[in-house]
């Protein structure tokens, strides 16, 4: 089973940033001919200089959504010169405030080594934070990390748990990896993992409902 394929598959469904391997360079945000970008599941027009300055002031005051927007613009070189290190800096500020898309994107920066040294363990930390908030692609990527043993001990059981939750959260790309992980578990281990999936998924849904 190629866990790299599993990891990449979930990114196709994401409207947040997901980086490719550093050697290939990160992909651009989806754009249409009307100069808009896709983020948080909807198109948003790329801001002009005045709007960027307002975002910057808000970001410097500690506004997490504005920090995330600053990170995206630096990440993509849209509205300002591309600067991955600055993108990481703003992603981190928003991520540390619990902004889930920033947590996921910061994890992907560490995962691919863009703007920071590649560190799978650090990627896992941020994927987990986003996954526990219900981010389906972070759940997928966390499961794939367990399947590959990158940044965490290799575990088919943990891969099954997180890939199952990702699939339940709407990430269809997680299904193949989930089924592969299930095929590597004994009936007893699979039953235990399925019970953990049910409990953890319920915890995540309750956490989301309480936000």
The predicted-structure confidence for 96-122, as pLDDT tens digits, reads as follows 999 999 999 999 999 999 999 999 999
> Closest by alpha carbon to 146, among 171, 169, 120, 175?
120
Does the structure show a pLDDT above 90 at 161?
Answer: yes
The whole-number pLDDT of residue 33 equals 30
Helix 49-60 crosses helix 64-76 at what angle (to 10 degrees)?
130
Residues of the chain above pLDDT 70, percent? 79
**Quick one: pLDDT band at residue 43, thresholds 50, 70, 90?**
very low
Q: Which residues contact 191 (CB under 8 A, 6 or more apart)?
A: none
Ramachandran bin of 13, using left for φ above 0, alpha for ψ from -120 to 50, beta for the remaining angles: alpha
CATH of domain 3-209: 1.25.40.10
Does the structure show a pLDDT above 70 at 147?
Answer: yes
Does the structure show a pLDDT above 60 at 17?
Answer: no
Does the structure show a pLDDT above 80 at 172?
Answer: yes
Contact 137, 10 (CB under 8 A): yes
DSSP-derived letter for residue 31 is B
Contact 140, 162 (CB under 8 A): yes
Show me where the domains of the chain are located.
3-209
Does the structure show a pLDDT above 90 at 168?
Answer: yes
Does the structure show a pLDDT above 70 at 40?
Answer: no
Does the structure show a pLDDT above 60 at 189?
Answer: yes
DSSP per residue over 81-141, as a string? ---HHHHHHHHHHHHHTT-HHHHHHHHHHHHHTSSS---HHHHHHHHHHHHHTT-HHHHHH
Longest dimension (CA), the chain: 60
> Closest by alpha carbon to 73, among 121, 42, 39?
39
The whole-number pLDDT of residue 44 equals 62
> Residue 37: in which H helix or E strand, if any?
strand 36-39
User: Hunting for tokens 């863009």 — which residue is that?
Assistant: 114
Collapsed DSSP state (helix, strand, coil) of residue 66: helix
The whole-number pLDDT of residue 3 equals 53
**Residue 25 to residue 207: CA distance in whole angstroms:** 35
The whole-number pLDDT of residue 1 equals 56
């Amino acid at each position: 089973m190629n866990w790299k394929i599993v990891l990449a598959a979930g990114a196709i469904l994401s409207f947040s940033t997901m980086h490719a391997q550093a050697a290939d360079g990160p992909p651009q945000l989806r754009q249409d001919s009307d100069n808009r970008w896709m983020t948080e599941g909807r198109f948003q027009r790329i801001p002009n200089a005045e709007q960027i300055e307002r975002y910057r002031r808000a970001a410097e005051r500690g506004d997490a959504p504005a920090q995330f927007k600053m990170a995206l613009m630096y990440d993509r070189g849209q509205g300002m010169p591309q600067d991955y290190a600055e993108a990481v800096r703003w992603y981190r500020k928003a991520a540390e405030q619990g902004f889930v898309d920033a947590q996921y994107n910061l994890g992907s920066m560490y995962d691919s080594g863009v703007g920071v040294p590649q560190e799978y363990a650090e990627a896992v930390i941020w994927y987990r934070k986003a996954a526990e908030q219900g981010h389906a692609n972070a759940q997928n990527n966390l499961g794939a990390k367990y399947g590959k043993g990158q940044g965490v001990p290799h575990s088919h059981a943990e891969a099954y748990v997180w890939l199952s939750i990702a699939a339940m959260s709407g990430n269809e790309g997680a299904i193949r990896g989930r089924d592969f992980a299930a095929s590597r578990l004994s009936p007893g281990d699979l039953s235990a993992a399925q019970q953990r999936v049910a409990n953890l998924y319920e915890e995540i849904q309750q956490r989301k409902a309480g936000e």
